[in-house]
Structure 1
Amino acid sequence: MSLFSCGRFQLDLSQPKVMGIVNVTPDSFSDGGQHDTLVHAVAHAEKLLKDGADILDVGGESTRPGAAVVAIDEEIRRVIPVIQALSSLNVPLSIDTRKPEVMRAAIEAGVDLVNDISALEGQGAIDLLASTQVGICLMHKQGDPQTMQIAPTYQDVVLEVGQYLAKRIELALNSGVAAQRIVADPGFGFGKCLEHNIALFQSIDLLGERLGLPILVGVSRKKMLGEITGQELRERMLSSVVAAVLAVQKGASIVRVHDVRETVDALKLWKVLK
């Protein structure tokens, strides 16, 4: 049994877990504006939980390519009421943020996991997380959301992503964060072209072995799927589900998705029929 220590929860990652996305934003690439009020966000989260989500990931700032930075106070205003409203549900809650101030507020409000695209590079973030028992997702990105897709370059994307994540993991461990509290995310689409994304996807198992930690994969509805299939954003549900199953087959322990019910059903079939 592989346990992920995640705040109030010990998650058994010997079976893949599905993280449902709750974007409390007006401008996220896929569902911006659909759940940007407390009532709508809570209703969406409850639906995802009913559909089989194992984790709910709440985000108040879009990190899509070209997205504008959201002020700290505004991001807190968006996410904290949602977290407070969901904290009584028996489900791990995650905050998707790169700002230490938002992390602190979210932890105080009851989240169990900090999902940071900046891998705790924010000033004071590692020390903050080391003083808690919440889980941590460290993600790789090249550049910032405003410019990361202009001209991403690597000599060896798998090697470089792995080296970056290994360094961030080492810093967290040296600061007192237990290894069982950490998962790693290669950061599909965050400063990567299609060629880079494909190479990383094909090496999910290798990355997991090199890092010695569970891997979280988020490719749901992303541009890479459209580039492969020719589908527009709203047509990518099927390709997203297939990609999630393939990610698990390659060794991913957690898949972060928009389409929870379809992904959960597909993974049930995979488990029985594989």
Structure 2
Amino acid sequence: MNIKRQHRLYQWKDGKKLELGEKSLVMGILNVTPDSFSDGGRWNSDTLAVSHTTDMIREGAAIIDVGAESTRPGSTALTAEEETKRLMAFLPDVLKLSMVPVSIDSYHYETMEKALSAGAHMVNDVWGFQYDDGSMAKVAASFDVPVILMHNQETEEYSSDIIEDLKHFFDRSLEIALSAGVKADNIILDPGIGFSKTGEQNMKILSRLDELTTAYPCPWLLGVSRKRFIGTILGTDASERDEGTAAVNLWGAEKGCTIFRVHDVKTTARELKVWDALRLFGRKS
């Protein structure tokens, strides 16, 4: 399979750069939450958050994704005020030391506006601009930053063709984004594996992932790190799913994804580097 990846070059006023294209990129997860499913409470102090950010960049992270609210199933939602307060206790120091762009994982436009004003570089919205009245899209447009729009919904109920349902969702997200003034080149899509989807539905989407990556002129992010369906396959808890995560990420790379959001940066960065080398060598042969 030879799926063309979309090329993008993003540059910020602080000198940060991010190039999307043939090279697979790793997004390192920095959860400053007490209750995330895999690493809740491990990095929720300023010192630990800064140390972990440094470690992930050294191990190969091209982006750091900071989240202050857990989005695991059954987690307690925060108000925008609560989320902003928690995030801003860590974000200034993370931004100060990070040598790579910093993404903010939030669906509250108030939190995002505060974070972008502080110098954050990217928007990562797990509701694909469909949580509010368009305010998040307007904030993203006003700062002219890359945005990651993920598929999500309230239930696990889909029509007979789940891929078509995802396409309808992305069509709506793109309409909202473009209408608000977000540049088309700033849009990155994410199929939302593990969000309002059963294990079987996750597998079905992954098996047909190329139908999504070839349908839109956008780069794609894949976030499967330590998800439950991997644990079901392996028979392991969240702490023992990194090898399975890597296998799914390699599948996603073959299907056209460019960015891979993970907890274990070192393993993912090394495996994708070898995968890219083999893929590009084969293309030249």
Shorter-normalised TM range:
over 0.9
Would you say 1:95 and 2:100 are equivalent positions? Answer: no
1:40 aligns with 2:43: no
State percent identity of aligned pairs.
36
Gap change, CA 1:217 and 1:6, over 3 Å in 2: farther
* C-alpha distance in 2 between matches for 1:249 and 1:201: 11
Aligned partners of 1:4 and 1:180 also within 8 Å: no
Kept in 2: contact 1:189–1:197 (CA 8 A): yes
- 4+ runs deviating over 4 angstroms: none
Distance 1:159 1:82 in 2: 39
In the alignment, which residue of structure 1 is the partner of 2:151? 140
Instruction: Tell me the TM-score normalized by structure 1.
Output: 0.93
- State the Cα distance separating 1:165 from its structure 2 match: 0.8
Deviations 1:40-68 (A, max 9, x none): 11111111001010000000000000111
Contact 1:219 1:243 (8 Å CA) reproduced: yes
2:120 corresponds to 1:111: yes
196, 206, 224: which is aligned to 1:201?
206
Q: Judge conservation of contact 1:83–1:110 (CA < 8 Å) in 2.
A: no
What is the CA–CA distance in structure 1 between the aligned matches of 2:278 and 2:76, rounded to whole Å? 44
CA distance in 2, matches of 1:273, 1:170: 37
Query: Deviation at 1:271?
Result: 2.0
Aligned partners of 1:203, 1:258: CA distance in 2, in Å? 25
Aligned mates of 1:23, 1:152 — CA distance in 2: 29
Matched residues in 1 for 2:86 and 2:9: separation? 28
Spell out, residue by residue over 1:79-98, the C-alpha distance to the aligned partner (whole angstroms, 9 max, x if none). Answer: 22322112233201000000
- Relative to the length of structure 2, the TM-score reads 0.89
**Structure 1 stretch 243-252 or stretch 90-99: which is displaced more?**
243-252
1:230-269 equivalence runs, <5 A: 230-269=235-274
Gaps of 5+ in 1: none
Looking at structure 1, the residues matched to 206 and 11 of structure 2 have their Cα atoms a distance apart, in angstroms, of: 25
The amino acid that maps onto 1:129 is: A
Q: Aligned pair 1:23/2:28, yes or no?
A: no
CA RMSD of aligned residues (A): 1.6
Task: Call closer, same or farther: CA 1:166–1:127 in 2, change over 3 Å.
Answer: same
Q: 8 Å contact 2:194–2:227 — kept in the other structure?
A: yes
Match for residue 69 of structure 1 among 68, 74, 77 = 77
Structure 1 position 168 matched with structure 2 position 147: no
2:222 matches 1:213: no
Q: Secondary structure at the match of 1:183?
A: strand
Return the alpha-carbon distance in structure 2 between the equivalents of residues 5 and 200 of structure 1: 29
